[in-house]
Amino acid sequence: MGKMTHGAAFALGVGLAAGASVAGAQTLNLYTARHYDSDEAIYEAFTAETGIEVNVLEGDSDQLIERIRREGAASPADVFMTVDAARLRRAEDAGILAAVDSDYLADRLPAELRHPENLWFGFSERVRVIYYDTEVYDEPPLTTYEELADPRFEGEICIRSSSNDYNQSMVAALIAEHGLEATEAWAEGLVNNMARAPQGGDTDQIRAVAAGECSLGVGNSYYWTRLQKSDDADDRALTERVGLIFPNQDSQGTHRNIGGAAMVAGAPNADAAVAFLEFLATDEAQELFAAGNNEFPAVRGVDPVPEVREFLDYNYDDINVAVLGENNAQAVRLMDRAGWR
């Protein structure tokens, strides 16, 4: 479960004592649910810039939240990093986050990608799109999320389970846009249009569309980009058959979510934690943070990887992503009532 960086020791069983350091050096203890190779380059660049060694504990987001909660005041954790605003909200509700008042972060990061009380910060953007079968449709057959519930698409849609955070956040965004009643009616229509029971991950939805199991799918754009960049010719062929739709260009814009991080309450190395969060907003770290998963940098003006640059000109929603967490419980109950399993 754990991973060490820069040779620094991290005692998984009992944790480091508050304020502990390795060989007298400053340290940062990072609990992260991100698992991208480029993150290692971020840690190395941070250490080169600041002299602060980074100790990394990787794990499932909910498991890390529970670990920090159990460790309480004895926790060595300085920074918690994860993906999806709903997971950051769970950390917030667990009472394990501390606000960070940073002029640099406020200046660099758009307000809609930051917690209103600075409990966490979004450092990359991920967007939820619609996949479509270009052999069934010569051009995109719809332009909005709302049309996924249109009866004309009965039996055509593949999508993940309602237990998936990305789907929950998409529904939470629709609640913010349309209200609870209208969104529940939409979810019922979507369920009626499913080609199969919800299953698999986002890549599985792409594969299902390419295989003709359904003509429409829902997933994050970076899963498609991963296949497009794959060394496997069969993976690249999937993206030649499956097209992307960035919904709601003429209304609220395409739904976006974040990868984010926060300082842990009672962080033994609080100054190092703030320094690390601020470093994540630098141009250098932004390029790496987004590139690891083919996402969009949160800081405006920093370019994503070349394969993603063509998507920069689309319109994306501007609601504060904290709303996704706030509406999560309602979204989950709504999806359950609609029969979305």
**What is the number of structural domains in the chain?**
2
What confidence score (pLDDT) does residue 284 get? 98
Question: Are 104 and 181 in the same domain?
Answer: no
Question: Could you tell me if 289 and 303 are in contact, meaning their C-beta atoms sit under 8 angstroms apart?
Answer: no
What confidence score (pLDDT) does residue 33 get? 97
What confidence score (pLDDT) does residue 14 get? 27
Question: Are 221 and 144 in the same domain?
Answer: yes
Whether residue 187 is contained in a domain is answered as: yes
Mind giving me the DSSP string for 302-317?
A: ----HHHHTTTTS-B-
CA–CA gap between residue 76 and residue 305 (Å, rounded): 34
Residue ranges of the chain with pLDDT lower than 70?
A: 1-25
Question: Are 183 and 250 in the same domain?
Answer: yes
Question: Could you tell me if 129 and 246 are in contact, meaning their C-beta atoms sit under 8 angstroms apart?
Answer: yes
Question: Are 111 and 222 in the same domain?
Answer: no
Whether residue 76 is contained in a domain is answered as: yes
Question: Are 207 and 329 in the same domain?
Answer: yes
Question: Are 77 and 198 in the same domain?
Answer: no
| pLDDT tens profile 13-69 | 223 333 344 334 599 999 999 989 999 999 999 999 999 999 999 999 999 999 999
Domain coverage including residue 204: 127-254+324-337
Whether residue 319 is contained in a domain is answered as: no
Whether residue 317 is contained in a domain is answered as: no
Q: Which domain CATH number covers 142?
A: 3.40.190.10
Question: Could you tell me if 190 and 149 are in contact, meaning their C-beta atoms sit under 8 angstroms apart?
Answer: yes
pTM: 0.91
Question: Are 250 and 261 in the same domain?
Answer: no
What confidence score (pLDDT) does residue 24 get? 41
Mind giving me the DSSP string for 78-139?
A: -EEEEESHHHHHHHHHTT-EE----HHHHHHS-GGGB-TTSS-EEEEEEEEEEEEETTT-SS
What confidence score (pLDDT) does residue 25 get? 56
Three-state SS annotation for 172-209: HHHHHHHCHHHHHHHHHHHHHCECCCCCCCHHHHHHHH
Question: Are 164 and 100 in the same domain?
Answer: no
| pLDDT tens profile 71-106 | 999 999 999 999 999 999 999 999 999 999 999 999
Coil/strand/helix, residue 211: coil
Question: Are 198 and 330 in the same domain?
Answer: yes
